[in-house]
């Protein structure tokens, strides 16, 4: 029996981002509307011998800009560092004070929580590989544990090794903000930050918190991350033209562009926002989640998990298919995802599917993995605010099997009231949130 949904309304009051298209929300939005692209040659490590030599990196960023106590975060992973900046920005917009033991913002920190979809922190690769090589007997193929242990003790920094844990981004944000309410972290691949926002909304609905700092942070632009995705043949290998490599829904699509970053939104009850007197940016009204229960690397061929999550979000919001103005697709630019996501949208929306703009900002932003859903949610809120739908760029050779309105190559000015944001991850993780224009 389905639980009765709380009547408490849930809103967004702050947004922050660090990403390949800019390290704040206004810069991101200007780049999106201008059709700029965040991809370029990989510089974080030497990728010249990899099948994919490019990525969408964060540029010109230093987390110390956002904290007076940089020493507390000195060992933080790249992703956790991004989370600090995104959280600081979101808190500033929402009127939440940071780094103080005596905040004057009137917020009970025991009622303010954190939910981040965050990935594993980047390895200290040099030390890790040195340790593994030193501990491997090339002839017998057996680990020589005493030798490996000695190398680990001399080469590896304990605090950095701790940063490989996915919950570290939430821990750093807690230190920054003083949030002492529910603390959650999920690592559900590309669907993680959408899950974080949806579950944060549910936590507030059931009375466990008044405010949640929600979103995601991730960086997999390192040798192991790129190797894994290359082995899965998930990454584009269009090395001669990184800026045109991400081409969702195109016939010539050959994989996604690996990105990185953090995106965080402040989610709170409307009553809390009104009590604090802060402006509301948008209202969260629906959340749906499912699993394909299929293969860990493939979506179900009928899109059953995606269909279930979309329908659950519509039901949670109390909407029909006619109510959605725009769909921000997962739109990765892989052969499988774009085909099955299109099928799922057609299955749910029927004849109306072709009438709903359904674009992918990954064509410009790249794929931020654990941070992707929250970053794209921010663009959904901005689309509502400005009445403009972002383009799917690089869509010059449409796949004839994919025949929805993908808003090709140029943003579209149009009224936008209700937006569906879809995120589908490796392992069959599916999460969908619905956001609408706030009406007091």
Catalytic residue numbers, as ranges: 190, 330, 367
d(CA 198, CA 193): 9
- Cα separation of 224 and 132, whole Å? 14
For 22, the token pair is: 């800019």
- Report d(CA 340, CA 348) in Å as an integer: 12
Structure tokens at 431: 């999460």
What are the tokens at 55? 């990525």
Task: Name the percent of the chain in helix, strand, coil, to the closest 5.
Answer: 40, 20, 40
CA dist 40 and 56 (Å) reads 6
Evaluate the CA torsion angle 78, 79, 81, 82 in order and state its sign.
positive
Count of CB atoms situated within 10 Å of the CB of 246: 34
Instruction: Give dist(CA 370, CA 385) in Å, integer.
Output: 25
- Give CA–CA dist 141/281, Å, rounded: 58
130: exposed, middle or buried (Cβ count in 10 Å: 0-12, 13-18, 19+): middle
Q: How far is CA 137 from the centre of its chain?
A: 41
The closest alpha carbon to 381, from 279, 290, 312, 305, belongs to: 279
Distance between alpha carbon 16 and the CA centroid of its chain, in Å? Answer: 12
Query: What residues form DSSP beta bridges with 118?
Result: 217
Q: Residue 339's Cα: distance from chain center in Å?
A: 21
DSSP 260: E
The overall longest dimension of the chain from CA atoms, in Å, is: 72
- Do the bridges between strand 418-425 and strand 429-436 make them parallel or antiparallel, or are there none, so unpaired? antiparallel
């Amino acid at each position: 029996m389905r639980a009765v949904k709380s009547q408490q309304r849930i809103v967004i009051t702050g947004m922050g981002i660090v990403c390949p298209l800019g390290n704040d929300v206004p810069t991101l939005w200007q780049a999106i509307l201008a059709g700029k692209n965040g991809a370029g040659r990989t510089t974080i490590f030497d990728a010249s011998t990899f099948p994919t030599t490019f990525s969408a990196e964060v540029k010109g960023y230093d987390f110390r800009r956002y904290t007076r106590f940089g020493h507390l975060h000195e060992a933080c992973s790249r992703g956790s560092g991004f989370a600090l900046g995104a959280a600081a920005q979101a808190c500033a917009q929402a009127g939440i004070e940071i780094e103080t033991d005596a905040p004057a913002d009137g917020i009970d920190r025991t009622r303010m929580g954190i939910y981040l979809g965050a990935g594993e922190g980047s390895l200290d690769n040099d030390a890790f590989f040195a340790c593994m090589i030193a501990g491997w007997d090339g002839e017998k193929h057996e680990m020589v544990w005493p030798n490996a242990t000695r190398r680990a003790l001399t080469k590896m920094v304990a605090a950095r090794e701790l940063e490989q844990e996915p919950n570290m981004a939430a821990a750093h944000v807690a230190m920054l903000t003083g949030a002492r309410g529910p603390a959650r972290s999920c690592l559900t691949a590309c669907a993680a930050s959408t899950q974080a926002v949806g579950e944060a909304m549910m936590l507030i609905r059931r009375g466990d918190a008044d405010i949640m700092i929600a979103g995601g942070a991730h960086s997999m632009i390192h040798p192991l991350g790129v190797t894994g995705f290359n082995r899965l043949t998930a990454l584009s290998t269009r090395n001669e033209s990184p800026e045109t490599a991400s081409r969702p829904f195109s016939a010539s699509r050959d994989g996604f562009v690996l990105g990185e970053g953090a995106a965080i939104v402040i989610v709170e009850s409307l009553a809390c926002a009104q009590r604090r007197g802060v402006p509301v940016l948008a209202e969260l009204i629906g959340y749906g989640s499912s699993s394909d229960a299929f293969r860990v690397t493939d979506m179900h061929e009928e899109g059953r998990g995606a269909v279930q999550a979309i329908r659950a979000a519509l039901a949670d919001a109390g909407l029909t298919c006619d109510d959605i103005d725009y769909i921000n697709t997962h739109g990765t630019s892989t052969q499988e995802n774009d085909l099955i996501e299109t099928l799922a949208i057609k299955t749910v929306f029927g004849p109306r599917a072709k009438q709903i703009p359904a674009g992918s900002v990954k064509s410009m932003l790249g794929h931020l993995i654990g941070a992707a859903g929250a970053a794209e949610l921010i663009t959904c809120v901005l689309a509502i605010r400005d009445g403009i739908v972002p383009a799917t760029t690089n869509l010059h050779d449409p796949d004839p099997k994919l025949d929805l309105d993908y808003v090709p190559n140029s943003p579209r000015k149009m009224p936008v009231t209700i937006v569906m944001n879809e995120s589908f991850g490796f392992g069959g993780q599916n999460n969908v949130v619905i956001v609408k224009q706030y009406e007091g």
